[in-house]
Amino acid sequence: MTALLGVSGLTRRFTLPRAPGFRRVGPRVVAAVEDVSFEVAAGEVLTIVGESGSGKTTVARVLAGLDTATAGTVSLAGRELAGVRTPADQRLIQLVTQNPRAAFNRRRTLRHALHQPLRVHGLAANRAERDALVLDLVERVGLTADHLDRLPGEVSGGELARLVLARALSVRPRVLVLDEPTASLDASVKATVVELLLRLRADLDLAIVVITHEIDIARRLADRAAVMYLGRIVELGPAERVLARPRHPYPLALLASVPVPDPARVGPASAAALGEGIVGEVPSPLDPPAGCGYHPRCPFATEVCVERRPLAEPLGDVEVACHHPR
Ligand SMILES: Nc1ncnc2c1ncn2[C@@H]1O[C@H](COP(=O)(O)OP(=O)(O)OP(=O)(O)O)[C@@H](O)[C@H]1O
Ligand SMILES: [Mg+2]
């Protein structure tokens, strides 16, 4: 079976302008994303977790066609999508970003905001058809027609988060990419958004990629999890495994830095390895460490970690890029 979304060898480097006064230094290159590969099936949720600056948003933007990769490919049902998307392809992968307030024009009604993508992509024959489609969407996300006549400032943050989803879904995407969808929401609203996403995934058979800092949200939503560090995936596998008993020292430390809701699920061996949590700072992606990017912070690092970058290899039910998996 071909996965719905296929990402292979995805790399995005940014060249920064030369700093004034450093004319003899060559161009500085930020390796934001390096050789990232994963697949997501229809009806599946993949979560991407990792510290700030690990390249999560860059992956999301390239997936959605808002940025072009330096190398690598994005495919949909086995068909490679061009870096610069055709309008027809552009709608197939929709990105929802963190701040719902910034996503709407505050002077236009929400009805206008929801009608516009249907008009742009020519997905409805006339106004009546657009009206019907928009009403169906609004009900799908648990709101009513009366929300449509309001301005973005006249609905709550949670309602707006639902409307952002409705708008992304209006163009009938196959893949939904959500970058920190719950970061700006109250705890109770977060829970309803999680429920909604799980229902939409099942109803619409979407492939969903969720980027989040919130490990508890990732655990509730995801079937599979990818952990990124300095632009690379260091561990990929079933979410209940990667987000509870990872093999790579980085997610182990990352999980130790967040409260464990159910300590019984973390085996005694890994509980000991969790130790103090994450230590030190993320190295600069302008000047990444040689060998394994995590070695300067890793309590298990040896000489080989300094010398050679570990390749991702299957280990039980996960793939891990580490010389000394736990
Ligand atoms: N347009 C750009 N020009 C130069 N560097 C960039 C650009 N966009 C991102 N970067 C760099 O690429 C790296 C990855 O950034 P990205 O925004 O993808 O991280 P992130 O994982 O989403 O972080 P956060 O959790 O803080 O949102 C960072 O070092 C960032 O500074
Ligand atoms: Mg980001």
Q: Which pLDDT tens digit goes with each residue over 102-142?
A: 888 889 999 999 999 999 888 888 999 999 999 999 998 88
Number of independent structural domains in the chain: 1
For residue 270, name the pLDDT band (cuts at 50, 70, 90): very low
In a domain? residue 315: yes
In a domain? residue 130: no
Q: Could you tell me which residues are beta bridge partners of residue 229?
A: 232
pLDDT at residue 227, as a whole number: 97
70 lines ligand 1 (CB under 6 A): no
Q: Which pLDDT tens digit goes with each residue over 209-219?
A: 999 988 999 99
In a domain? residue 193: no
Q: Give the closest residue to 94 by CA, choosing from 187, 169, 26.
A: 169
Tokens coding 107: 């002077």
Least confident range from 141-155, 209-223, 270-284, 291-305: namely 270-284
Q: Compare 276 and 74 and report the one with higher pLDDT.
A: 74
Residues 161 and 182: their CA atoms lie apart, in Å, by 8
Q: Compare 288 and 314 and report the one with higher pLDDT.
A: 314
In a domain? residue 157: no
Whether 264 shows a pLDDT value over 70: the answer reads no
In a domain? residue 30: yes
For residue 269, name the pLDDT band (cuts at 50, 70, 90): very low
- Which residue segment(s) compose the domain that 226 sits in? 5-19+26-82+209-320
Q: Which pLDDT tens digit goes with each residue over 58-84?
A: 999 999 999 999 999 999 999 999 989
Whether the full predicted model's pTM is greater than 0.75, yes or no, is yes
Q: 207-211 and 175-179 as β-strands: parallel, antiparallel, unpaired?
A: parallel
Kindly identify the ligand whose nearest atom is closest to the C-alpha of 214: 1
Distant-in-sequence, close-in-space partners of 37: CB < 8 Å, separation ≥ 6: 7, 8, 9, 10, 72, 233
Pocket perturbation via mutation, ligand 1, pick of 11, 13, 29, 54 by most ligand atoms within 8 A of CB: 54
What percentage of the chain exceeds 90 in pLDDT? 63
Cβ-in-10-Å burial (0-12, 13-18, 19+) of 142 comes to middle
Q: Give the closest residue to 187 by CA, choosing from 143, 155, 157.
A: 157
pLDDT at residue 276, as a whole number: 56
pLDDT at residue 24, as a whole number: 64
Residues 323 and 248: their CA atoms lie apart, in Å, by 9
pLDDT at residue 283, as a whole number: 87
CATH number at residue 293: 3.40.50.300
In a domain? residue 73: yes
Q: What is the DSSP string of 220-283?
A: HH-SEEEEEETTEEEEEEEHHHHTTS-SSHHHHHHHHTS--S-GGGS-HHHHHHHTT---S-PP
- Going by CA atoms, what residue is nearest to atom 27 of ligand 1? 52
Tokens 């080989």 map to which residue? 304
Q: Compare 209 and 21 and report the one with higher pLDDT.
A: 209
Q: Which pLDDT tens digit goes with each residue over 29-48?
A: 999 999 999 999 999 999 99
212 lines ligand 1 (CB under 6 A): no
How many CB atoms lie under 10 A from the CB of residue 326?
Answer: 17
For residues 227-238, average pLDDT: 97
Whether 263 shows a pLDDT value over 60: the answer reads no
pLDDT at residue 18, as a whole number: 73
Distance 282 CA to ligand 1 centre (A): 13
In a domain? residue 305: yes
- Going by CA atoms, what residue is nearest to atom 26 of ligand 1? 52
For residues 146-170, average pLDDT: 91
For residue 203, name the pLDDT band (cuts at 50, 70, 90): confident
For residue 223, name the pLDDT band (cuts at 50, 70, 90): very high
Whether 267 shows a pLDDT value over 60: the answer reads no
Q: Which pLDDT tens digit goes with each residue over 160-192?
A: 988 999 999 999 999 999 999 888 788 888 888
pLDDT at residue 22, as a whole number: 62
Atom of ligand 1 at shortest distance to CA of 30? 5
230 lines ligand 1 (CB under 6 A): no
Distance 280 CA to ligand 2 centre (A): 20
pLDDT at residue 23, as a whole number: 64
In a domain? residue 10: yes
For residue 152, name the pLDDT band (cuts at 50, 70, 90): very high
